[in-house]
A and B are shown apart, each in its own frame.
Chain A
């Protein structure tokens, strides 16, 4: 197992609500990336944070936002939840200047009803 942790493990929300997912990166890693994985598909890149700033973003609307803290942990916030937001949300940490090899957490399973 990697040293990346995510919370909560599972979450059920209602359409229109807001959700915050949390991630603690592996020791020594300063970059955090978030991915959305729908059932039966590969992970889709949401965004990456480096030195507390967004450092790349995938094709996701602005209601997906994030933060990175001085200790390199991170949050993913999703506003105005839609049914299609139901997915496994994966956090991955890495160290800048390396080969972008990423260490994934176990994920948060979000269900929107």
Chain B
């Protein structure tokens, strides 16, 4: 079973527009992470936000976390065709090693040139 649910499942935008993806989860977390996957290849870590943080930025990425609503969002600003990929949120339920990441079903983003 998957804890996280991404919304929307698919998103198609024009280059230069912003893309927003949402993630909801069910149990308490230590942190929430966003990953990107190109066309059935390995996942690439994008950004991590701890449970005591509300917002984090990395380049064109902005992540928010609302633990009261058990939800997070990923915003990609000024999108590029190279941003076309699947994006997954993953929750880490505990401190330190020894625990799994639970992934959502992903949002498939297509950025049209």
| Chain A positions near chain B (C-beta within 8 angstroms) | 2, 4, 31, 33, 35, 41-45, 48, 50, 55-56, 58-59, 88, 90, 92, 94-107, 109
Query: In whole Å, how far is A99's beta carbon from the nearest beta carbon of chain B?
Result: 6
Query: In whole Å, how far is A36's beta carbon from the nearest beta carbon of chain B?
Result: 11
Are A43 and B92 interface neighbours, CB within 8 A?
no
Classify the secondary structure of B's interface with A.
Answer: loop
B-chain residues with CB within 8 Å of residue A33 when the two chains form the complex: 100-101
Known pairs A48-B97, A102-B43 / 15 extra A-B pairs, C-beta < 8 Å: A33-B101, A35-B103, A41-B106, A42-B105, A43-B43, A44-B2, A48-B98, A48-B99, A90-B43, A97-B97, A99-B48, A100-B30, A100-B31, A100-B92, A109-B40
The tally of residues in B whose CB lies under 8 Å from a CB in A reads 28
Q: A55-B97, A95-B97 are in contact. Are A104 and B44 (CB under 8 A)?
A: yes
